[in-house]
Structure 1
């Protein structure tokens, strides 16, 4: 098939999402030891409501903060850059929210905070114990032997249905969290007068002017919540003298990007969902309202536990076990406890998926081989129930077929990618936005091709 006469260049960010090797996935998991998401937020929305601890008054119309910010320049390697605690105790019908972030990022979140009241009018999902569950909810939070609290379906939940929605209790910039490998080695940090973040010898006291004192900021963020029990009731997994809030965040938070900053978001209701390597739900973040939703990936029957994956989907068992080490438990899901023959077969399929993925992107791959490998790839992904990854896979297929001069197939896979991306990722985020832009490129090329053949 001849290539289109007028070619277009796809946006490079669209095709970077699934180019990580297994080793890089593991590295990312170490850097952000949380249920790993990759929701690409919309471009930062700057607000005129830029305040910090030096602002003379908080009496500004529509300002959502209910407490004066507590700020420090000790967290950043950039001289003079501030990070603060911003809180709204009235958010989410009085449950409250605290942000540990920069004044610029906080200003960009004002609109999202203002929309919260109409999104989930009653905090029916908030009931912390088994009793007083609302009859119209499709789930209940209960005690599960060996797992602590978990979530059980109380009625049938259809595939792609939104099971629950949760507003954040905390969103904290990653500058507040030392790298895990540094922390485990006993490395502490101080900031020099020039602003350089420098490691101190293991065991050296971290105190005095210029040193990072995160505990003070965690405590302030916790105290300024309207409902602290919503956070304190969550599980903890760390050892040592770590502040309780940092422990809760590291154990339960989701990695995300907010206004261009890498953050950890604490969503107490979603955090009640336990892990499975073959989950029946997926957490979806939407940047416009900061909501985290749990979306069903397949039909869920009454009495079935609702689960999500804390690690990237699609990995063979050995890599999954290593990644789950961050949570200090051995997975007992159906996939991990299946008979050896079944586990080996699943691992073989997943290894073949990765092999095909990289082989398909080889510049020497012939068009006929691409068609055969695409068919095999999709069949394997369906058997492994990697439906939440389909959007990522299809976006790569769109580029591959476009590059081979087949814009019709590129359009087909692009439309399918967007369909799944809008279900499982932020519809207004960068991933969906780029897909729409590149689909317009393909459609224009198709229109020009048809016009030239008349």
Structure 2
């Protein structure tokens, strides 16, 4: 989780600061007059800014797409730097904390980072269908101002801070704090990050700065081209946790943005919630994770229910996990009927537990199994569900588009096979009727 990774980073830096004095910053925090094109359109991506020329160049043309000369600290293997574009996305800016090597090999997706939408634009509500309000016992929260239909995009929030999850262990904590402070203050709108609520969290580390505490309580772990990063989304941080949320989040590597989707219909005045933990965990593990990682005790409707209700929910979620393990194995063993019975029951439990965020992968198994047992109608029913899930919740990047096209092809093929099947059944009925008529004529049976 993001908190654990960042805590390890900060703790390592603090421990070594008592005896390691060799690492030092390689550049000063720049004044406004040293910015490169702040507020202007970003010009094409220049990988040499991250590899050959690196953070030490004073030529602004070599920094693109960054608006500042990278701010770095030295480490044993390679520098650890802050790369900032203060103008994009949408003016609030983005800072990325990583090494030049990782930046050059992994973050080349930033060549066109903010003009590629991974969702269907008409699915996004504009203006935003919610407001940020004070919620008793939670601090700030998000409440719907209108009815939000299932499958609608509520928010698209680009990351403000992205930091690689693997950190140097040979730097002083003060220098780490400088990196974090530089990453925030160089943003186009640093106040969006600085004004984030602590959400009631008490600092576990009195030596932590305000910015460290903000990152500890507001960051998510994301994957970018096979590497793990932590990311802070200023607007997303206002959405509170619920163990039975009415919305879910999806991170796009293409846009470096997190989208909040409605997983069911949401009524005006209802708080919009997401889950901060793995949804399938039992209550005890969820509570421990939320306290350890996010620093608060969950007070959602499920966690404050009676012991009987909590146990019933835990049993259902345990059964869902068991089905997720057993269904593929039964299918591999050719036990399709048993696998399908389990799948149908699993979907009932998933619905009851409110875990119906993105179910396209779950629907694929029964679609395939019904096809194997010759039930083309049920195979088509579940394939259509897969398509509706992908299409309804947006198409996440190239993979989603290819998957959607594949589903459309399968649907057409199944439709044709069902037509052929019906024609054969009709032909069989006609032939059976003719045989019956011929038999009656031979036996001189009245019509």
> If the length of structure 2 is used for normalisation, what is the TM-score?
0.70
CA distance in 1, matches of 2:57, 2:373: 57
Instruction: Give the one of 324, 330, 339 matched to 2:306.
Output: 339
Q: CA deviation at 1:346?
A: 1.9
Shift in alpha-carbon separation, 1:150–1:441, aligned structure 2, 3 A = same
Relative to its length, the structure with more helix (as a share) is 2
Contact 2:152 2:392 in 1 (8 A): no
Q: Does 1:99 align with 2:68?
A: no
Instruction: Give the one of 388, 392, 414 matched to 2:357.
Output: 388
Instruction: After superposition, give the CA deviation of every residue in 1:33-70 in whole Å (9 maximum; x if it has no partner).
Output: 99xxxxxxxxxxx9544302134522269x33110112
Shift in alpha-carbon separation, 1:396–1:31, aligned structure 2, 3 A = farther
CA distance in 1, matches of 2:138, 2:353: 25
CA distance in 2, matches of 1:404, 1:47: 52
Q: Does 1:289 align with 2:255?
A: yes
Aligned residues, how many? 366
Instruction: Give the one of 160, 167, 191 matched to 1:169.
Output: 160
Q: CA deviation at 1:239?
A: 2.7
Aligned to 2:443: none
SS of equivalent residue, structure 1 residue 109: helix
Q: Which structure has the higher relative contact order (CA within 8 Å, separation 6+)? A: 1
Q: CA deviation at 1:165?
A: 2.4
Aligned to 1:141: 132
Contact 1:414 1:435 in 2 (8 A): no
Contact 1:29 1:323 in 2 (8 A): no
Q: Does 1:160 align with 2:131?
A: no
Higher mean Cα deviation, 216-225 or 284-293?
A: 284-293
CA distance in 1, matches of 2:364, 2:113: 29
SS of equivalent residue, structure 1 residue 59: helix
Contact 1:284 1:426 in 2 (8 A): no
Q: CA deviation at 1:232?
A: 1.0
SS of equivalent residue, structure 1 residue 74: coil
What's the RMSD between the two structures over aligned residues?
Answer: 3.9
Structure 2 segments unaligned to the other structure (5+ residues): 8-43, 425-447
CA distance in 1, matches of 2:80, 2:382: 43
Shift in alpha-carbon separation, 1:440–1:301, aligned structure 2, 3 A = closer
CA distance in 1, matches of 2:374, 2:57: 58
Aligned to 1:360: 327
CA distance in 1, matches of 2:268, 2:416: 52
Aligned to 2:264: 298
Shift in alpha-carbon separation, 1:317–1:159, aligned structure 2, 3 A = same
CA distance in 2, matches of 1:212, 1:175: 18
Instruction: Give the one of 219, 232, 241 matched to 2:194.
Output: 232
Q: CA deviation at 1:269?
A: 0.8
SS of equivalent residue, structure 2 residue 56: coil
Instruction: After superposition, give the CA deviation of every residue in 1:309-356 in whole Å (9 maximum; x if it has no partner).
Output: 001113222222122122222211112222333222222221221222
Contact 1:249 1:264 in 2 (8 A): no
Contact 2:320 2:346 in 1 (8 A): yes
Shift in alpha-carbon separation, 1:447–1:395, aligned structure 2, 3 A = closer
Shift in alpha-carbon separation, 1:341–1:168, aligned structure 2, 3 A = same
Contact 2:387 2:408 in 1 (8 A): no
> If the length of structure 1 is used for normalisation, what is the TM-score?
0.69
Which protein shows a greater Rg? Answer: 2
Contact 1:316 1:350 in 2 (8 A): yes
Shift in alpha-carbon separation, 1:400–1:324, aligned structure 2, 3 A = farther
Q: CA deviation at 1:447?
A: 11
Aligned to 2:237: 271
SS of equivalent residue, structure 1 residue 85: strand
Contact 1:276 1:307 in 2 (8 A): yes
Contact 1:50 1:103 in 2 (8 A): no
Contact 2:134 2:140 in 1 (8 A): yes
Q: CA deviation at 1:411?
A: 6.4
Taking the TM superposition and a 5 Å limit, the aligned residue runs for 1:8-407 are: 48-51=46-49, 52-55=54-57, 57-59=59-61, 63-72=64-73, 74=75, 79-80=77-78, 82-101=79-98, 102-104=102-104, 105-113=106-114, 136-176=127-167, 189-190=169-170, 207=172, 213-236=175-198, 237=201, 238-240=203-205, 241-325=207-291, 326-362=293-329, 363-364=332-333, 366-397=335-366
